[in-house]
């Protein structure tokens, strides 16, 4: 079976290629990047002329909510949302019910992914049992069961001894530890960024220093143990600067930023809009600018969504009680392309942040269209204007701060292992 994706502008950060090519796919792998028109024989052709052909996006921070909260998201609905967003690989966080802290849960997620998933699903195992921060989970068992990394995301590992032990064990299993950096003693009772605005709105504050102190600790532990450490959802100027300096001094630290943190500021909380409530919270303009600088200069390795679906019961209540989190899989691409249009990122850098950066951090061979790579790709119309509408979302949840936004750029077709898993032409026909 030969599939040819014809005539698109292929952007592959792994080889710094930005040229019109035909991507030739056989048995789920890229077998050639041919001069357009050169390949005469094909079983299936996809016309990509006038479009960009990118390695499928890799989102290393997603909450799929299955098992346990299937009313918010499932492996099926979450991977459907991913495919619609051009995302071909998701790493899913351990804060399911029950927690993914043992092989049975990992196995369950992997079986669901195989039978119902549209894109690649890589489970992340918990660092501590039940995410309680009291004792380590069986990290060896989780690695053997197929977990790609470890994280207590949603909760910090407050006990530094456990955090250190986790790094040392993870290194022996060649797995990454992904750290949710938040000093809970400093954020307790908080609902938004601490500052003039939180005072004005009468909401409890979550100070930026709560992130900074934990990033400092984790960098110190990374330097001391020599293990790799990844900082999730970076949101403060102080944290960006610490990661920048740590990288310069040779610490094996990587970091991610989310589209909501690099697009919005705390002002989005506006009139107590719970769709602007997440953890870490939206920060100040200065913090947002620091994130943009970090994305551009290589301090930040990956753009990750922290796709965190919540139902109406969790969000349509008073701000202080509402759940933390926003969905993001269906909007990550246009929000990132915005940074290209604004001159913050080059095209290749944006594509690198959307796939190769996370792949390198996780140690997986994704985010590239080099010959021999898995044929995971997104055909993108970079100029397509569309309005992000709630009733068109593939996710089961609706908690996006970008509802009603006019967006530019969209994945029109998504391919995983040489198989079309999303195609707007077909979707629109079905939607009528």
Map the footprint of ligand DOR across residues 329-358, applying CB under 6 A.
none
Map the footprint of ligand DOR across residues 271-330, applying CB under 6 A.
278-279, 306, 308, 324-325
Select from 63, 164, 175, 315 the one that contacts ligand DOR (CB under 6 A).
Answer: 63
Q: Which is nearer to ligand DOR, 180 or 288 (CB)?
A: 180
Q: Which is nearer to ligand DOR, 221 or 276 (CB)?
A: 276
Q: Which is nearer to ligand DOR, 24 or 278 (CB)?
A: 278
3-class SS at 217?
Answer: helix
**Residue 180 found at the interface with ligand DOR (CB under 6 A):** yes
**Residue 154 found at the interface with ligand DOR (CB under 6 A):** yes
Q: What would the two tokens of residue 348 be? A: 């290749």
Task: Give the helix/strand (H/E) hosting 289.
Answer: helix 285-297
Q: Return the DSSP state at 267.
A: G
CA separation for the pair 378, 351 (Å, rounded) = 11
Q: Residues in contact with ligand DOR, total (CB under 6 A)?
A: 11
Cα atoms found within 13 Å of the Cα of residue 219, Cβ hemisphere only: 23
The least distance separating ligand DOR from the CB of residue 63, rounded to whole angstroms, comes to 5
Map the footprint of ligand DOR across residues 73-112, applying CB under 6 A.
95
Q: Which is nearer to ligand DOR, 92 or 337 (CB)?
A: 92
Please pick, among 183, 218, 306, 374, the residue that the annotation labels catalytic. Answer: 306
Q: Which is nearer to ligand DOR, 12 or 101 (CB)?
A: 101
The least distance separating ligand DOR from the CB of residue 324, rounded to whole angstroms, comes to 4
The least distance separating ligand DOR from the CB of residue 163, rounded to whole angstroms, comes to 16
The answer to whether the beta carbons of residues 264 and 276 sit under 8 Å apart is yes
CA separation for the pair 79, 165 (Å, rounded) = 33
CA separation for the pair 330, 336 (Å, rounded) = 12
Cα atoms found within 13 Å of the Cα of residue 250, Cβ hemisphere only: 3
What does the buried/exposed string (b/e) look like for 251-273 if buried means 16 or more CB atoms within 10 Å of the residue's CB?
bbbbbbbbbbbbbbbbebbeebe
Q: Which is nearer to ligand DOR, 279 or 331 (CB)?
A: 279
Kindly give, in sequence order, each residue whose CB lies less than 8 Å from that of residue 428, ignoring residues fewer than 6 positions away: none
The least distance separating ligand DOR from the CB of residue 260, rounded to whole angstroms, comes to 9
Q: Closest residue (Cβ) to ligand DOR? A: 325
Sign of CA dihedral 223, 224, 227, 229: negative
The least distance separating ligand DOR from the CB of residue 308, rounded to whole angstroms, comes to 4
Closest to 12 (Cα-Cα) out of 58, 60, 59, 56: 56
107 is catalytic: no
Helix axes 285-297, 237-248, angle to 10 degrees: 30
Residues that are catalytic: 306
Q: Return residues touching ligand DOR (CB under 6 A).
A: 63, 95, 153-154, 180, 278-279, 306, 308, 324-325
């Amino acid at each position: 079976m030969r599939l040819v994706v014809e005539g698109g502008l292929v952007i592959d950060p792994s080889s710094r290629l930005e040229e019109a090519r035909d991507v030739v796919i056989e048995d789920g792998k890229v077998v050639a990047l041919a001069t357009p028109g050169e390949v005469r024989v094909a079983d299936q052709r996809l016309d990509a002329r006038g479009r960009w052909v990118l390695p499928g996006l890799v989102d290393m921070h997603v909450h799929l909510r299955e098992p346990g909260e299937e009313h918010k998201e499932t492996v099926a609905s979450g991977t459907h949302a991913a495919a619609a967003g051009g995302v071909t690989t998701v790493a899913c966080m351990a804060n399911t019910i029950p927690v993914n802290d043992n092989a049975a849960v990992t196995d369950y997620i992997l079986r669901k992914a195989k039978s119902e998933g549209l894109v690649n699903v890589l489970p992340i195992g918990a660092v501590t049992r039940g995410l309680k921060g009291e004792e380590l989970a069986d990290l060896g068992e989780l690695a053997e069961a197929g977990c790609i990394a470890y994280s207590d995301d949603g909760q910090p590992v407050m006990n530094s001894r456990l955090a250190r032990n986790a790094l040392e064990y993870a290194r022996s299993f060649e797995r990454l530890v992904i750290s949710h950096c938040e000093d809970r003693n400093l954020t307790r009772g908080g609902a938004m960024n601490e500052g003039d605005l939180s005072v004005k709105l009468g909401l409890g504050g979550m100070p930026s220093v709560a992130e900074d102190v934990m990033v400092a600790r984790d960098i110190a532990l990374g330097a001391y143990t020599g293990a790799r450490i990844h900082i999730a959802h970076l949101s403060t100027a102080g944290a960006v600067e610490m990661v920048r300096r740590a990288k310069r001094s040779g610490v094996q630290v990587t970091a991610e930023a989310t589209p909501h943190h690099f697009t919005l500021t705390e002002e989005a909380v506006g009139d107590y809009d719970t769709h602007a409530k997440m953890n870490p919270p939206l920060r100040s303009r200065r913090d947002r600018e620091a994130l943009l600088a970090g994305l551009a200069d290589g301090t930040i390795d990956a753009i990750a969504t922290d796709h965190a679906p919540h139902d109406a019961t969790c969000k349509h209540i008073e701000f202080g009680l509402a759940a933390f989190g926003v969905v993001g899989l269906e909007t990550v691409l246009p929000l990132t392309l915005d940074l290209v249009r604004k001159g913050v990122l080059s095209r290749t850098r944006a594509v690198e942040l959307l796939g190769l950066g996370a792949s390198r951090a996780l140690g997986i061979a994704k985010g590239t269209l080099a010959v021999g790579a898995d044929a995971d790709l997104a055909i993108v119309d970079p100029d397509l204007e569309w309005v992000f509408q709630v009733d068109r979302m593939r996710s089961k949840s609706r908690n996006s701060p970008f509802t009603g936004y006019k967006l530019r750029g969209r994945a029109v077709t998504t391919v995983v292992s040489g198989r079309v898993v999303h195609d707007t032409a077909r979707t629109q026909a079905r939607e009528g």
